[in-house]
């Protein structure tokens, strides 16, 4: 048997950010619980991994720094610094000036930390800005186009989003209904959400929305949809999310921390963008920008012809 050389081993080391995430995702189910915890933090907070020290990352992810070193070595790196360098290259390549932007945001956060009620407001706004910046960098023309095409062609659009994700789901239902799409909201009322989800067919589309800690009923609905091969658009916080696996189109909105004040700005903006993109697909002859009518406008248009 040929002895494996260090040169052979180096070929298996992920060199690009996407390769690291794919490797983590592929091995996630077989990792120890400690490594799974680190994996979730890495995929949900790539900017923190690129910009912070190993001690700061260990503190925020709830593990010992030595665990981060072992995690990096598990995926073929000599140590944590080598792995971190790939995350840093991602920022330098995909987002020039991002270091300066993060520094500015951190200064604002520190400035507002003792600013009373207005300080709370400013802190939330700064976090929203950071989340929106990430969304702008991560969402692509291809994913938005694929998702809007699926929604425009869907016979019925099912939407699942509970707990903190419910406002996002409600907005999606409103916008898709205004586009005259048949929409079914899979809410927990009456305890029938999973039974209603069982009526989905391959001509339908499921919009699934969940962030850590993931609503168990939404996870169950997603698992059933994947088994039934229903097309699915997932909006979540990581590629390791339980609603990411099997998604036809995946949108990730990583969150810095798991607190009550987590931002809704980015997922709300994403749902609005999907609605406008879907409107454009449904209104190919419209020369101006696509429009989503309001309820008031629809009612007025129904009444005015009768008045004439």
pLDDT digits (tens, 9 = 90+) for 6-37: 444 444 788 888 888 888 888 888 999 999 99
Angle between helices 141-153 and 265-282 (to 10 degrees): 60
When comparing pLDDT for 166 and 287, which is higher?
166
Element (H, E) at 159: strand 157-161
In b/e form, how buried is each residue of 98-134, taking b as 16+ CB within 10 angstroms?
beeebeeeeebeeebeeeeeeeeebbeebbbbbbbbb
State yes or no: pLDDT of 98 exceeds 60.
no
State yes or no: pLDDT of 148 exceeds 90.
yes
What residues form DSSP beta bridges with 156?
A: none
pLDDT digits (tens, 9 = 90+) for 195-231: 999 999 999 999 999 987 788 999 999 999 999 999 9
The whole model's pTM is what? 0.72
State yes or no: pLDDT of 233 exceeds 90.
yes
State yes or no: pLDDT of 301 exceeds 60.
yes
Give the C-alpha separation, 170 to 175, whole Å.
9
For the ranges 110-124, 152-166, 189-203, the one whose mean pLDDT is highest: 152-166
pLDDT of residue 252: 87
Residues 6+ apart with CB under 8 A from 279: 179, 290, 291, 292
Average of per-residue pLDDT values in the chain: 82
Over the Cα atoms of the chain, what is R_g? 22
CATH level 3 topology of 6-94: Arc Repressor Mutant, subunit A (1.10.10)
* Out of 92-106, 142-156, 197-211, 265-279, least confident range: 92-106
**3-state SS, residue 256:** coil
Q: How confident is the model at residue 259 (pLDDT cuts 50, 70, 90)?
A: low
pLDDT digits (tens, 9 = 90+) for 180-196: 999 999 988 778 888 99
Domains of the chain, residue spans: 6-94, 100-138, 141-295
HSE of 59, CA atoms in CB hemisphere, 13 A: 5
Q: Does domain 141-295 have CATH number 3.40.50.10490?
A: yes
């Amino acid at each position: 048997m040929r002895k494996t050389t260090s040169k052979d081993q180096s070929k298996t080391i992920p060199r690009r950010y996407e390769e690291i995430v794919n490797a983590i995702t592929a091995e996630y189910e077989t990792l120890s619980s400690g490594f799974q915890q680190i994996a979730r933090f890495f995929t949900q907070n790539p900017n923190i991994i690129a910009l912070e020290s190993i001690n700061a990352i260990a503190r925020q992810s709830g593990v010992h720094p030595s665990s981060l070193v072992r995690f990096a070595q598990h995926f073929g790196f000599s140590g944590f610094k080598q792995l971190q360098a790939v995350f840093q290259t991602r920022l330098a390549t995909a987002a020039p000036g991002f270091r300066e932007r993060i520094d500015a945001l951190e200064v604002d956060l520190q400035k507002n930390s003792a600013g009373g009620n207005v300080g709370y407001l400013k802190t939330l706004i700064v976090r929203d800005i950071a989340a929106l910046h990430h969304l702008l960098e991560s969402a692509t023309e291809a994913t938005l186009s694929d998702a809007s095409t699926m929604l425009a062609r869907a016979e019925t659009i099912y939407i699942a989003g509970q707990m903190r994700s419910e406002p996002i789901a409600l907005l999606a239902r409103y916008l898709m209904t205004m586009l005259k799409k048949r929409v079914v909201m899979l809410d927990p009322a009456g305890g029938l959400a999973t039974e209603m989800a069982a009526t989905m067919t391959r001509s339908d589309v499921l919009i699934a929305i969940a962030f850590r800690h993931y609503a168990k009923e939404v996870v169950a609905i997603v698992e059933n949809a994947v088994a039934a091969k229903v097309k699915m658009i997932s909006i979540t916080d990581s590629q390791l999310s339980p609603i990411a696996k099997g998604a036809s189109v995946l949108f990730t909105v990583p969150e810095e921390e798991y607190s009550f004040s987590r931002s809704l700005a980015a997922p709300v903006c994403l749902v609005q963008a999907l609605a406008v993109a879907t409107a454009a697909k449904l209104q190919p002859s419209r020369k101006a920008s696509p429009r989503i009518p309001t309820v008031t406008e629809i009612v007025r248009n129904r009444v005015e012809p009768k008045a004439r």
